[in-house]
Structure 1
């Protein structure tokens, strides 16, 4: 089997910045596993099944991408999958500072390498928080996320 990578996150909701990282990762790796955290330590708008479904819809036309959920330490998920590389999207220096701590810990725990990738310039400003905030006011989301995700957000917030 070729080189595989795990792209972990909560993806609540997934957006075009996330999709950009996946599309660029499949150019480097033979397989990309999008690993969606089931119970992170933060408020979630969507449950795990909804987040998996939304991301699956976004990548359905991209070969060699799998979407899975996990409910354990990320390094344990990686071990189970037989993967030793993580790709993480970083938008700002503050993202990098936090992600560096996690990367160093994952390396110390399990020898797992982390590759940092910035989203393309057109998506670097997008975050799940911004998407949720705009959606909560029934705002325009077409340039931020996939139509299926928009549909799910509009249902969640009662937008027509």
Structure 2
């Protein structure tokens, strides 16, 4: 059985994230979307809220499950008995950031990272940008799943 982990902070999950998750779910028997938790960073959404939102927007994908983790993602991947990480890329800047981590992960544990490009129409979308635009009253509805849009409106009401 092929399996992989797709890690990220997902604060909040965007349509770009969902695009990558849907494509990865087609290629693996099991895909774990792992919400990475940084105890030194305060997110807009709690870890529990992020997990709920991801579960809601991936409910149509029967081979996707959602979990959370702290620490090194390779430790989590190994503990799950997996050896593949899936990372979404929006552009070359993302690749420059992700490449050294992928190489370190492979050197440390043999864990491979597969990079998947997001939909070009969503290449400018980031969680940070969505939060900022929504906070200032801008319309982000076409860039985030409906459940996320609803929660963003509630957070900034």
Shorter-chain TM-score bucket reads: over 0.9
TM-score scaled to structure 1, two decimals? 0.93
C-alpha contact 1:10 1:40 (8 A) present in aligned 2:
no
Q: Give a deviation string over 1:42-91, Cα, whole Å, max 9, x none.
A: 44211111111111111011110001001121111101111100010111
Which has the larger displacement, 111-120 or 141-150?
A: 141-150
- Kindly state the Cα deviation for residue 8 of structure 1 after the two structures are TM-superposed: 0.3
Q: Give a deviation string over 1:106-152, Cα, whole Å, max 9, x none.
A: 11111100011110122222111111111101221221111111121
- Separation of aligned partners in 1, 2:42 and 2:107: 28
Counterpart of 2:88?
89
- Separation of aligned partners in 1, 2:86 and 2:39: 18
C-alpha contact 2:87 2:116 (8 A) present in aligned 1:
yes
The Cα RMSD (Å) is 1.3
C-alpha contact 2:90 2:120 (8 A) present in aligned 1:
no
- Kindly state the Cα deviation for residue 40 of structure 1 after the two structures are TM-superposed: 6.0
- Separation of aligned partners in 2, 1:86 and 1:139: 34
What secondary structure, in the 3-state scheme, does the structure 2 residue paired with 1:155 have? helix
Structure 1 consecutive aligned stretches of length 4 or more whose deviation exceeds 2 Å: 40-43
C-alpha contact 2:38 2:70 (8 A) present in aligned 1:
yes
C-alpha contact 1:126 1:144 (8 A) present in aligned 2:
yes
Q: Gaps spanning 5+ residues in structure 1: where?
A: none
Q: How does 1:32-71 map to 2 (within 5 A)?
A: 32-39=31-38, 42-71=41-70
- Separation of aligned partners in 2, 1:120 and 1:138: 25
TM-score scaled to structure 2, two decimals? 0.95
What secondary structure, in the 3-state scheme, does the structure 2 residue paired with 1:122 have? helix
Counterpart of 1:130?
129
What secondary structure, in the 3-state scheme, does the structure 1 residue paired with 2:139 have? coil
Q: How many residues align?
A: 157
Counterpart of 2:100?
101
